Every structure is written in C-alpha cells, then in structure tokens.
Structure 1
Amino acid sequence: MPTQITMPRLGWTMEEGTLIEWRKSSGDPVEMGEIIFTVESDKALNEIEAFDSGILHIPENAPKPDDTVPVGTVLAFLLGPDEEPPTEVPTVDSPDEEPVQSSLPSTADRPLTAKQGSAPSQFNRPTISPRALRIAGELGVDWQSLEGSGRTGRIVEQDIRAAAGSGIDDRSSQTRKLIADRLTRSHQETAPVTLHTEADATSLVALRDKFKSSLSDRGLAAPSYNDLIIKICAISLGEHRILNATWESDNPVISSSIHIGLAVDTEAGLLVPVVRDADRLSLQEIAGATADLAPRARESGLQSAELQGGTFTITNLGMHNIDAFTPIINPPQCAILGAGRIVRKPAVVESEVVPQDRITLSLTFDHRIVDGGPAARFLDTIREYVEEPDLWLTR
C-alpha cells in the first residue's frame, strides 16, 4: 500500500509546521535518504529526507507550500510499482493519532555546520531569509531590488516591512506561543530559586581588552563577554555536575555532556541556540560557534537541532544596562545564569576604596533537583573564575 509522507515532529514542543517547498515534483522517483521537502518549525528550517523509496504522489487536496499544518498531517505518498495513487490525503483526527512518519529531518543527528549553510539554496535564494520571503509575498513587496541589512547583506523581515511602509512588528505567533508555553511550563513545573552575587570583573575586562588588541592585529575577532561566560560556566559545570542535570520522569538526570544554550533576542522572539560540548571547546572555538549561531538565529536560519539538547542556559541583559534580574529556567534544565552589565564603580579592598569593574550574576535553579548549598557553591565558583581568569584560561 502507498507509504504516507507526513509532517514530522522535529522537537518535543512542536505541534505544527509550515511546508516551505517540495524538492521533488509529483511523479518523480525518490530514493531513500533523498531530500524531498523543507519544513519551518519554531523559526528553524529543516530539510526532510525520504525514509523509503518510491514514486512521489502529491494529491490535489494536499497542503500547499506556505501552509501551516499539525504534526502528523499527510502531505503526500510514496508509491510502489503498479500501485494506484490515492486521490486525496486523509485528515488528522487529533494530535495524539499521528500517522507513521515516512520522512525524517536530515539534520536530526548531524546539525548543519557553518559551511553547510542554514537553509536549502533553492529556497533561500541566498539574499533573503525564509521569513522575509514569505512576508514579502504577503505584503506584495518586490524584494529583488532591496538592499539587505542582515549578515552578508541578506534581506531580513525589517527590510521588507520598511519597504512596505509598515512599522508594525508582527512577531511570529507560532514562536510567541512556543515561548509562552515554555514559560508557563517553567512556572508550573519547577521550584525556582534565584541567587545573586556580585563579582569583580576587572581582570576579565583586562583580558578581553588584551584579546581585542592582539587579535585585531591579525584580523581576528576577540571573544565576546558571552563567550568568556560560556567558557567559565562550562568549566564550573564540570566541577558541579548536579547543575548540569535535567528533570525527566520525576527524577533528576545528570548529563554526561555539557551543552550550553545562549539566549538570543530576535524579531521572532527569544531563541536559544546551543553550543555543544562547550567544556571540550577552546575559547576561540566557542567564539566561532556563537559568531555563527547568533546571527543565524536573528535571521531565522537555524536548524531545529541547533535549538535542542541544551543542559544549561545563559542569558545576558548587560547590553541593555540591566544589573540584576531573575532569569526563568528553560525546562527541563536545572538552572540558568543571568549576567548583568559590567559597570565601573568604587569598591572597598583592604580598607581602601578602589575603582573596579563590577558585574552582577543571577542564578535561578530548580530546587527539586538541587539544594541551595550546592547551587550557591556553583555560583561562587563562577564568581571566582570571573575574578581570576588565570584559574581557567589554559583549560
């Protein structure tokens, strides 16, 4: 019988996806492992592989490109030799009754690297982001003559809206709903406690200034403060493994890998791309990873796999002149670190008032997984490494 091709579930929170384009036409032969269509979910593009071989058949009533449909919706069929093609696709009765998926994301176990790119070349038309292309169609904007403001001149949503004379920031309802669901789940299912501490970041500032001076002469970008904090947290998590746990099936599970998510503010909402195996990366490798992930997050160019699997999260509001705040846990993770601005102010050292660069660090943790003492010791380790970079710089 014909094999159903359905809208796959690309993440545990995914309830629906948008069919972007077919890479094959109805009637084309398909081999197992070939890319047959692309899907947008949670503002990430995914190339979907055929999980079987056959002849592609897309019925007339099948979802069309740009249609958003629930997970499990039948999109097309693969036909065997001499099989009669179905005349229409069945409807999905409920999210809990999904047809067997005959296609899988090609990047589920192997996320795209920077060299591979962030989306299929046929759709991206390398000069415009997927979201911008769709909005251009909705607003009737001829984008081909526009000058993009994104990385490498790519056209992004704000360019399309500016050309259309619309100043309205139409945030993606799908992404907003996802964020709302996550925050509600975090509030309802965790036992959050937030600890604050202040650290002397004078040596950290001096270290970054030294990097900027030495690397700029070689045409290289210096690691950002986010990169430095990721490195510090990765080492600290290795010393306090319980903070690298997740809550699963009513039990804490300590991960053997340290995957750190970095919160990125985008037009579509807050996205958290993940720097994988951060404890095994050098500072320069971390800087390279964030320099790739953050811009693609802002341009809706991330793969779904690049937003999943984090074991700890960092969020930084220092660029907005915020000192201290209460970050919200990203479930099922145990904890999240918030970094405030670095500000020059007087401090008392051995009965003398001296100027220091100070930073406030805020750790929210799930009290179901870890008690206050271990969490406080973890935060104090981070403070120590901020104040004395020599303790970790060669690790």
Structure 2
Amino acid sequence: MTRDLLGRHRAVLPEWLALYYENPLEITHGEGRHVWDAAGNKYLDFFGGILTTMTAHALPEVAKAVSEQAGRIIHSSTLYLNRPMVELAERIAHVSGIPDARVFFTTSGTEANDTALLLATAYRRSNTILAMRNSYHGRSFSSVGITGNSGWSPTSLSPLQTLYVHGGVRTRGPYAHLDDRDFVAACVDDLRDLLGHTRAPAALIAEPIQGVGGFTFPPDGLYAAFREVLRERDVLWIADEVQTGWGRTGEHFWGWQAHAHNGPPDIVTFAKGIGNGMSVGGVVARAEIMNCLDANSISTFGGTQITMAAALANLNHALEHDLQGNARRVGGLLLERLRAVAAQVPHVREVRGRGLMLGIELTRPGTDEAAPEAAATVLEEARAGGLLIGKGGGHNTSALRVAPPMSLTVAEAEEGAAILERALRSI
C-alpha cells in the first residue's frame, strides 16, 4: 500500500518535495506523543510534524473546538467580523509583550514572515533587510531571498537587498573561539561596520534559535546588543518565532525574551505550534507599524473560524497546563541524558538546545567536517527503534533535531533517549 502511494506521489508531486527515510513513512493517526504508520507500527514522535504538534496528537480540547466550530461555520474571510479571530488576537496581543499590539493572521510561517517584510519595508521605505547567516524564514519569493542557508534558497533573485550578519551560530565561524562576552562584542562590531557601508536597512530579521539551521543560537543578550546599534539608525527588529514561540524553549514564552533587557521586538512572527496542526500563522506589531499600509489588504484563509477555534483551544491548554514549565523540566533532563550519551560517541560534535528544542550535530570524528551520511544513518536507526526525529543544519544537514510535543513525560523522554543512544552508537 505504501509503495503504491510512493509511486503515485512521485508521479504527480515535485522532485524537490523531500521525503524522509529510504522507505518513506505514511502516518495514519496519532495520540498524545505517539503516531502510527499504515502498517500499524507505533512510533514515539520527537519531531511533531516539524514542531507543529505543540501540545499532543489528537488533543481532545482541540478536536472538540474544531468539531463544534465546523458544525457552525468554517470560513467567511476577513471581510466579515469573526469572533474566534478577535478572541485569539486579544490573547496573543496580551502575551506578546508588545505595547499597543495589533495581530494579523496568515496560513503559515512563510506567509507571516512575508507579511513582516512587507510591513517593515513599507514603514521604513527601504528594501534592504539584515538577516542572519545560517537562517531560514520560509519558501516564498521574499523569504527565500533572505534565507541565509543555501540548501534552502533555490534562487538568488529577490525583491530585497539582503545583508547577512554573523552571530546565529555560536560554535562555528571566525568568533567561535571567543568567550560569550567577546563573541557578542565582535558580532556587534561586525554589525556596526556593515551598517557603515550601506543605506539604512528596514529591519533585522532573526530566529532566536535557528530551526532549519540545526537548533543553533547565540549567547543570551546578542539581539539586545544588536538592537542598541539598530536603534541608532531606526532599524526595526523582527523576531521570527515560528519555531521558538509559545514556551517551547522552556526558559521563556518567546525566544526573544533571552535578549529582552531593552524591550520587545518591533515585530514578532509566529506559526507552527499555535495551531497544533491546523494552518495558522501570524504577525504581531505595534499599531503604528501594522497600520502603515496605505492600500487595501485582506486574507482569504488567514484567521478562518475553524483554525482560530483550534488555536485558541490549543493556546488555552498550553497555558493552563504550564507546558512551558514542562518543556523546561523534561527538556532539561533530556538534554543532560543526550549529552551523557554523546560523550561516548565520537561522531557527536555538540548537543545543544533549550527546553524541548534540542540539536545533535554530527561530524566526522576528530574534525569539524559535516557528516550528513551519519545523520541519515541515525534517522533510519531511530525509526527502526520506534522513534521519529528530524534533521537540519547549515552544514550539509548533519544535525539531528529533537522537538517532541511539549506535554512529553519523563518516562517518554527516557524511552526516546534510549532509542537515540542505540541509534547514535550504530554509526
């Protein structure tokens, strides 16, 4: 059955639409932190549909909200008043930390970042954007143009002029040998020098933790230090929270809060986990920025009643059950367990991350040379052991990505770590 589906997939879908595994997997249903494939095999899910299943598979509150809303009305567009959309916007504006916040809903993180770029360039009357090396921001024409990871940027054409800043990867590059304080100072000096050679950019867009880049991140406070420099030139700060938002990092509700001593970003984008699998993205910004557009705009599918009802139920569940706290506690245990395992595996260069957002970077032993074949081996062996994980990284996808639903239990964390240990030892 799966082989037949694979043949049909290849016959009608693009070659560049990637599939995991030598024998691709068809997931048919899920519950909690587990999913099942078409052959009836059960897996512990440590990737959650690329960090999208934030709370749990088949979460009753979300399923109930979707069912009840579907029985009333599914969609009407933003041309009409929409109670679920207003209610969710109120909640997000409140938790955003942005004063006088306005919220616009989209269908994905790509579209959210696209909207943020539109707002920033229109507000600042500049098409120059600062982005981080090793970054990823989506697959639209504009977001591909600012992505600092060549493996995910299929064209050099872009409506924007993009300048890339150093600092998103702590343990590689020209400043890797410095301590945290000197690393931040060197990155700030690099940014200041860059700004001295260009017209004032519209904004800096940055992921607090680089997702597709392999869950890499700078020392705390880097973006706050950047912001002091950016303010001198009236350059906006866009925090891409598509993967880091809603408490996944454990220590903070938003990833930007690790860099927060001088206030929140001007614009925050979000998606993935908030919908728990429903297609929800969005942008939060100060009213003066959000309202700067001087032309008509709507969203046909952004903010539909059914996706808003699901996201509201999901966010309420996450807040009421302190899933941020669970991500901090269980994620901390999982991180230490994986670091203990990694110390005995020569291919592991680094285990990094926060909360339930952990990366394991693999290299050829004794070198800094990427080992994508080792990452592929671990991915396959983990699946054979009943565990689904992801991969990424700016160095030939040689980083494993671990991001379970935030309701992960200690017992499940131990089970997954044991499977990962066997998979890593199989390299």
TM-score grouping bracket, smaller chain normalisation: under 0.3
**TM-score of the two chains, using structure 1 as the length reference:** 0.23
Higher relative contact order structure (alpha carbons within 8 Å, sequence separation ≥ 6): 2
**TM-score of the two chains, using structure 2 as the length reference:** 0.22
Higher alpha-carbon Rg: 1
Higher helix content, 1 or 2: 2
